[in-house]
Structure 1
C-alpha cells in the first residue's frame, strides 16, 4: 500500500496556483483587485506580448511595510478578513492565495512604499524561491511585475494561447473591473500603445459608455430599482441593439464582476419575448445586496456566486429590466443603415448612355404615344435601373396641425411596396414596417387580455404519456414538478427511469411530451435547479405560442392600408410598450432626420 506523505511546500503552492493562475489574465485580475481593495485612486497596467512576456500593475493605494510584504507572500495570509466572518466579506479578494500562487509559477517582483515612508521596499521571488530583497525607489503605492509565467512548467506553458488571445482575455478583465469602479482612474498599455485611459470620478453611465461603446448609452435605458435591501442599477440596451454572442453582457454583484448563470438566465428571461433565441442583449447591470445574502466563496477565481434566495433575486432582475424596457423601448435603436444610406445617389452631371439614347432625337413638342392614346401602362424606359416602376401611394402633404406636431412617429403620408408606411414628423422622415409593428401590437393586446394565462391552462391527456429518461433527468424533473404544474405541465415520477405526463399546457397540447421534457431537463442541467429555469423554458415556449398567434393575427406585408389605418397604427405604436421592436428583436421603425435628408441633396 502506498505510503501517505505530506507534499512539499513548493508543490502545494503550484497545485494552488493551478486553481488561481489559469492564464496571465487570471493573475492580472487578482493583482488589479488587490489594488482596488488597497484604496487606489489610479491604477496603471502594462502588458508585454499580451501578458505572456510580462505584465505590471502600479497603484497609489495604502501599500505595505517590509514586514507586511513578507507575510503577504505566505499562503492564506490576508488583511481583508479582520475576523472569521467570511460570509460578510466586502472586498474583492479575501482568500490570501493570489500572491504566493503567482510567485510560485513566475518571476514575481513586489515593490511597495506606504504613504509617509521615506523609501520603499522590494522583494523578488523566482518560481517560489526568494532571490533578492532590499530598498526600492518608487512613489507611494505598490508596483507588482510578473514575468516568465509558467517558464519552469512547460506542461502548463504549452497550453497558453497566442499573445493576441491572451491580450484579449487581459483586456476583458481590466474593462470589467474598470466598469465597476468609475471612481478609480485606469490606464492600460500594451507594448508601446495606450489602449485604455479612464479618468477617476466619472459617472457610471459615462464609464460604461466609454468601455462598451457610445452606442449603448444612446440606445439603452437607465436601470434604477430598489426593493428592501436589494438595488439594481446600470444600463440595458434596447432589444433592437443586440449581438450574436453574450460576451457583451457585463454583470456585477456588490462591485464584483461575475459570470453567473442565474443572472444570465434572468437577463434572458427579461428579453425572452423581444429577442430571437440566437441574439443576445447588450447591457451592464450592477446588483447590490447585503453580503450575508450572497456567497462569493464558491470558486477560487471568485467569478461565481450563490444567492441565499435565488428566486427572489431572479424575479427582482427580470421585473426591473422589463419595467425599464417598457418605459423606454417605444423607440427603435436603429437609425438608417450607413451602407444603405451611401447607396442613395444624387443626379449625375452627365446623363447615362441609356438616358442619352432616350433624349436624343425625340420630338418634345408632341406627347408620347402612351399619353396621347390615354394609355395607363407603367412608367418604363430603356434603362430599368434608372426608371423602374413606382410602387407607392401618397396623400397630399397638408401642413401638420399643431396637435399633430407632437406625435413622435408623425402623420402617415403614404405606403411603399404595400409594406412600409412613410410618415412625416416634425423632425424627420419615419419609415415603419407595418407587419413587424402590428405583430408587436397584437402580442401586447393578447397579453393584456390574459391570453398568456389562457395559453398556460392545462389540457389533461386522455391517456397519460410515459416518457423514458435517464434517472438523473427524472430526479431533476421531479424536483421541478411543483413549479411546472403552475404553468400547466403536470408530471409525476413513474419508476426510476420514467416520467408520467398527465397534462400539457393548453397551447402545447399537440406537442411532443418527450421532446418537451428533454428540453426542460437540458435547461435544468445548463442553468441549475435553484434558478427556476425549467419553468422559464416552458414560459418561453408559451411566449412563442403567443408570438405565433400574434403573427397570424397581424397586418401582413403586401396589404394596402388606408391613410386612416396607417395613422391608427402609428398612434397605437406610440402608446404601446416595447413597440420599437418586433417579437424577434428587429426594429419596427427607423427615422431619417431632416438634417440627413438635406445632406442627401447637398443642402447641409
Structure 2
C-alpha cells in the first residue's frame, strides 16, 4: 500500500501561523457545507434579531445568489465591520456557554460566508441611518451610507468562488433548491408567528415557491395552521395533539394517525427549544411510540417540540448545531414515547380521512361524455321505506324462477335501536364476501374488515391481561451464562428489576458475566444469549429494555391474528353490531396490528357525487 502524498516537506517541518483568510476558509468548510447551510445561518440570524417577516431569494440553487431580508432590529453602522469578524456576536457574552437561548452563538456564519463568497450587508436600526458593507473572498470594504427600511438584508453572490473545489461537490441546482426549501420549512414550523417567503429567481424570472404568512391566536392553533401550510392540510386533519410534561421537560406538537403514515422517514420533524435538530434519540423515541401500530417499512408523520432548561441540553456538540445532547436522555425519551402512546390510545377507533379519499379515488368514472344529470332530489327515509314495501313482493315473486342463484352478500334487518346509526360506526346492515361488514351511519356508510378489526381487539385485550397479571416466566433447567465486559454487565444488572417484570430473570455471575435464569414463557424456546445482547444494545443506544417488550408484543400479535374472526366466516347481525361497538370502545382499533386500516368511512355526499347527484 502506497503512502499518501501529504504535501509536507520532510527536510524542514516549520510550524507557521496561517493567515486570517485561510483560517476563515477552513472554518467555513464546517459552517457552510452547501447553500442550504448558508440559508439556515442567515434565517436563524434574522429570527434572533426579532424579525416578524423573512424573505429568502435564491438563484441557481443558491450557487449564484442567496438573499435574506428581514424586518428585525438591524445592525448599527458602526458595528458592521465587527459583525464580519470571526467569533463576534451580540447573542452571548461568553460568561455562560450552557445557558444558550438563541439560534446562533458562535459568531462564525457571516465571517465564513465572506471568506468563500461575495457578501453584502445592508442594515438599518430604527431611528438611525442605514449602511452597507461588502466583503469579497475575505477582503473587507468600508461601511457606506445606504437606503433601507428598518431591518437587515444579507446577500451572498457566487458562493464558494474563493474555494472553487467545493463547487464540484455540490449537487444539481434542483437538489440544492430542494435542500434550501427543506431548511426554510423546518424553521417556519419552529416559528409560526413569523411570516416566511421563499423565491427562486433563476434565469431572471422570479417565482414564489413557498409562503407561510404569520399565524395568529394561541400557540396550538397557530402551530396547527403553520403545519397545515408546511406539511399539508391532510396532516392537520389527521394529526393528534401532543401535550405532556415530566421533570421540567415539556413536549408539544402534533403526531399523525397510524393510518396516515409514509413509506420513508421524510416527514419527521423534531425541535429542541425551538431549534430544528436531527437527533437519533428523539427520532428513535418517535418510532418507539408507534412501534405497536405500524408495520415494518412504514414511518409516522410528526412535528414534535421539546422544551427544557437550556442548561439541561448541550447544543454545542456539532458545527452546524444539528445535534444536541441531553443531560437526562432517559427522561426525554420516556416522555416522547409515553405521550405519543397516550395520544394514540385517546384517538380510539379513529382512522385517517385519506383512507376514504383513496377508496373514492379507486372508483372508476363513467367512460366518456358529460356526467348523467338527475332531476330529482334524494328521497326521504319515509319515501324509501314506502317504495321498498311496494316493490318487495314483486321482486320476491320475480326471483322465484332463479332460486339456484346464490347472492354474494347477506342483508340484515334494520337494527331495533334507532340510535345505533348515530354512533360513530353506525348500525350493521350487511356482510359481503364473508369478510366485509357494511354499516350505515347518520351521514354515510362504513366498510369494516372483520378479520383486521377483530385482530386488533384481541391483541389489545391480551396486552391488558399481560399488564394486569404480569409476564409469566419459565425457569431454565440450566442457567445460561453470558460473558460480557464489566461495564456491559453493570448496565444489564441496573435494569434487572425491569427485566424481571418482563419475565427475564438475570443475576451476576462473577466479574463481567450474567446468568440468565428465567425467560418469558410466551417466547417459548429462546436464544438467551442473543436476547441479552439485543437488550444490551438497546440500553446502550437509548437506555430502554425495548427488545424484550417488542418480542412479547410480537408474540401477542401473532396469537391475536390466529385467534380472531377469520375471513370467510359468516356473522349474524348481532355479532356484527357487537364488533362495531367494541371497536368504538377500544383504543387503536382504527388500524390492525400491521398498521393497515380496519375500516373505511364514505360520506353520503361523496357517494352521491359518484353517481352525479351533486
TM-score bracket relative to the smaller structure: 0.7 to 0.9
Aligned to 1:336: 356
Out of 157, 168, 174, which is 2:178 matched to? 168
**Counterpart check, 1:74 vs 2:90:** no
Matches within 5 A, 1:13-28: 13-28=24-39
Residues in 2 aligned to 1:477 and 1:218: alpha-carbon distance in whole angstroms: 47
Aligned to 1:8: 19
Q: Indicate conservation of the 8 Å contact 2:489/2:513, yes or no.
A: no
**Counterpart check, 1:421 vs 2:437:** yes
SS for the counterpart of 2:351 is coil
Report the TM-score when normalising by structure 2: 0.85
Q: Where in structure 1 are there 5+ consecutive unaligned residues? A: 350-370, 380-389
**Counterpart check, 1:505 vs 2:520:** yes
Residues in 1 aligned to 2:467 and 2:249: alpha-carbon distance in whole angstroms: 32
**Counterpart check, 1:199 vs 2:213:** yes
Task: State the Cα distance separating 1:300 from its structure 2 match.
Answer: 1.7
SS for the counterpart of 2:210 is strand
Residues in 1 aligned to 2:469 and 2:329: alpha-carbon distance in whole angstroms: 25
Q: Indicate conservation of the 8 Å contact 2:348/2:586, yes or no.
A: no
Residues in 2 aligned to 1:491 and 1:418: alpha-carbon distance in whole angstroms: 48
Q: Indicate conservation of the 8 Å contact 2:538/2:546, yes or no.
A: no
Residues in 1 aligned to 2:603 and 2:188: alpha-carbon distance in whole angstroms: 35
Number of residue-to-residue matches in the alignment = 564
Out of 427, 433, 438, which is 1:411 matched to? 427
Q: Indicate conservation of the 8 Å contact 2:246/2:331, yes or no.
A: no
Q: Kindly tell me: are residues 102 and 503 of structure 1, through their superposed partners in 2, closer, same or farther at Cα, counting changes over 3 Å?
A: farther
Residues in 1 aligned to 2:164 and 2:52: alpha-carbon distance in whole angstroms: 38
Q: Indicate conservation of the 8 Å contact 1:66/1:121, yes or no.
A: yes
Residues in 2 aligned to 1:214 and 1:162: alpha-carbon distance in whole angstroms: 30
Report the TM-score when normalising by structure 1: 0.87
**Counterpart check, 1:55 vs 2:66:** yes
Task: State the Cα distance separating 1:507 from its structure 2 match.
Answer: 2.4
SS for the counterpart of 1:592 is strand
Offset from partner CA, 1:454-479 (integer Å, 9 cap, x none): 44x4433333445678x7xx855652
Q: Where in structure 2 are there 5+ consecutive unaligned residues? A: 1-11, 217-221, 370-397
Q: Indicate conservation of the 8 Å contact 2:492/2:536, yes or no.
A: no
Residues in 2 aligned to 1:105 and 1:489: alpha-carbon distance in whole angstroms: 58
**Counterpart check, 1:257 vs 2:276:** yes
Q: Indicate conservation of the 8 Å contact 1:232/1:285, yes or no.
A: yes
**Counterpart check, 1:126 vs 2:139:** no
Aligned to 1:143: 153
Residues in 2 aligned to 1:62 and 1:588: alpha-carbon distance in whole angstroms: 54
Aligned to 1:91: 102
Task: State the Cα distance separating 1:98 from its structure 2 match.
Answer: 1.4
SS for the counterpart of 1:274 is coil
Answer with 180-189 or 122-131: which moved more.
122-131
Offset from partner CA, 1:196-249 (integer Å, 9 cap, x none): 112123411001111001011111111223345332221111011000111201
Aligned to 2:6: none
Q: Indicate conservation of the 8 Å contact 2:491/2:536, yes or no.
A: no
Q: Indicate conservation of the 8 Å contact 2:493/2:508, yes or no.
A: no
Task: State the Cα distance separating 1:374 from its structure 2 match.
Answer: 5.8
Out of 489, 495, 498, which is 1:483 matched to? 495
Q: Indicate conservation of the 8 Å contact 2:123/2:153, yes or no.
A: yes
Answer with 128-137 or 540-549: which moved more.
128-137
Out of 312, 319, 332, which is 1:293 matched to? 312
Task: State the Cα distance separating 1:497 from its structure 2 match.
Answer: 9.5
Aligned to 2:466: 450
SS for the counterpart of 1:242 is coil
Residues in 2 aligned to 1:492 and 1:98: alpha-carbon distance in whole angstroms: 53
Answer with 506-515 or 18-27: which moved more.
506-515
SS for the counterpart of 1:2 is coil
Aligned to 2:252: 233
Matches within 5 A, 1:287-436: 287-333=306-352, 334-338=354-358, 341-344=361-364, 376-378=403-405, 390-397=407-414, 401-436=417-452
Q: Kindly tell me: are residues 48 and 537 of structure 1, through their superposed partners in 2, closer, same or farther at Cα, counting changes over 3 Å?
A: farther
Answer with 336-345 or 563-572: which moved more.
336-345
Q: Kindly tell me: are residues 467 and 207 of structure 1, through their superposed partners in 2, closer, same or farther at Cα, counting changes over 3 Å?
A: same
Offset from partner CA, 1:376-419 (integer Å, 9 cap, x none): 4336xxxxxxxxxx421111346x74432331100111111111
Aligned to 2:194: 184
CA RMSD for the aligned pairs?
A: 2.8
Task: State the Cα distance separating 1:9 from its structure 2 match.
Answer: 2.1
SS for the counterpart of 2:209 is strand
SS for the counterpart of 1:591 is strand
Residues in 2 aligned to 1:434 and 1:595: alpha-carbon distance in whole angstroms: 25
Task: State the Cα distance separating 1:435 from its structure 2 match.
Answer: 1.0
**Counterpart check, 1:461 vs 2:476:** yes
Q: Indicate conservation of the 8 Å contact 1:451/1:546, yes or no.
A: no
Answer with 136-145 or 31-40: which moved more.
136-145
Task: State the Cα distance separating 1:268 from its structure 2 match.
Answer: 1.2
Task: State the Cα distance separating 1:156 from its structure 2 match.
Answer: 2.1
Task: State the Cα distance separating 1:134 from its structure 2 match.
Answer: 1.8
Q: Indicate conservation of the 8 Å contact 1:336/1:592, yes or no.
A: yes
Q: Kindly tell me: are residues 214 and 224 of structure 1, through their superposed partners in 2, closer, same or farther at Cα, counting changes over 3 Å?
A: same
Aligned to 2:457: 441
Out of 525, 543, 551, which is 2:553 matched to? 543
Q: Kindly tell me: are residues 461 and 561 of structure 1, through their superposed partners in 2, closer, same or farther at Cα, counting changes over 3 Å?
A: same
